Amino acid sequence: MSFLERVDQGIRRSAVWRSLFRNPYPTDERSRAYAVMNNVFLHLHPVRVRQHAVKFAYTFCLGGLSFFLFLVLTVTGVYLMFYYVPSATMAYTDILNIQSSVAFGLLTRNIHRWAAHLMVFFVFLHMMRVFYHGAYKPPREFNWVVGVVLLFLTIMLSFTGYLLPWDQIAYWAITIGTNMGGYAPLFNTPTKLILLGGIEVGQNTLLRFYVLHIMVFPLVAAIFLAVHFWRIRKDGGISGPL
């Protein structure tokens, strides 16, 4: 390689480096502010954390544990997707093969299942903690609404995933659940037909629940999580005791 080629390669590398890290290492208030504003992850996280918020007994890390379980569910769910087909004739067999033939399949599925149960549990406890500490009061009303939406998304993620094993328990649980939804006013019949893809639980239901479980609800939940974290930062971090 000639000298000019090495120089040209070095210039290209430095250009790529500058495009990734546009500001030098922060050493003063101004450079720290630029570093935070130009990084989406730092921008979501509060610049300052109040002393009471550091105490474990105040929040019990319920929000962080809920988010961590969401990440665990995402990773384990992607792994299970490689070996699962949403087919009424193959779904249950695929579950058995995952548990018996796939490397770490039984462990991964059990982690996914228990993480789903724990996420519902911790999100509910997190909402109770926020309500008990009055963290829904001004100026945090909007973030409380976002949290309520995330609670319903968590429940719907658990509900749609319950059908995917396609066993008798899942079949009749979804049948009962959709029949209960059929008694809702105004939107009872259209909602039931849209979810089931027919008049009873079948192949169309399994496919629709699969799409909702792996794509629609996780994507919507990720968007609302980003808004939730952003509002925590804009509202001054974790709220103080009453």
Instruction: Determine which of 3-7, 129-133, 160-164 has the lowest per-residue pLDDT on average.
Output: 3-7
Structure tokens at 123: 């999100």
With cut-offs at 50, 70 and 90, classify the pLDDT of residue 33: confident
Cα 11 → chain centroid:
40
With cut-offs at 50, 70 and 90, classify the pLDDT of residue 20: low
Query: 81-130, pLDDT tens digit by residue?
Result: 999 999 999 999 999 999 999 999 999 999 999 999 999 999 999 999 99
Q: For the chain, how big is the Rg over CA atoms in Å?
A: 23
Query: 153-163, pLDDT tens digit by residue?
Result: 999 999 999 99
With cut-offs at 50, 70 and 90, classify the pLDDT of residue 178: confident
Q: Is the per-residue pLDDT at 242 higher than 60?
A: no
User: By three-state DSSP, how is residue 48 classified?
Assistant: coil
Residue in the block written with tokens 């546009």:
22
Q: Give percent of the chain with pLDDT exceeding 90.
A: 57
Q: Which domains does the chain have, with CATH numbers?
A: 1-38 (no CATH), 51-234 (1.20.810.10)
Structure tokens at 3: 């000298």
pLDDT at 236: 79
pLDDT at 26: 77
Q: By CB neighbour count within 10 A (0-12 exposed, 13-18 middle, 19+ buried), where does 176 fall?
A: exposed
Q: Would you give the end-to-end CA distance of the chain in angstroms?
A: 68
Q: Is the per-residue pLDDT at 3 higher than 70?
A: no
pLDDT at 163: 96
CA–CA gap between residue 35 and residue 20 (Å, rounded)? 12
C-beta separation of 33 from 25 below 8 A: no
Q: By CB neighbour count within 10 A (0-12 exposed, 13-18 middle, 19+ buried), where does 132 fall?
A: exposed
Residue in the block written with tokens 């105004």:
186
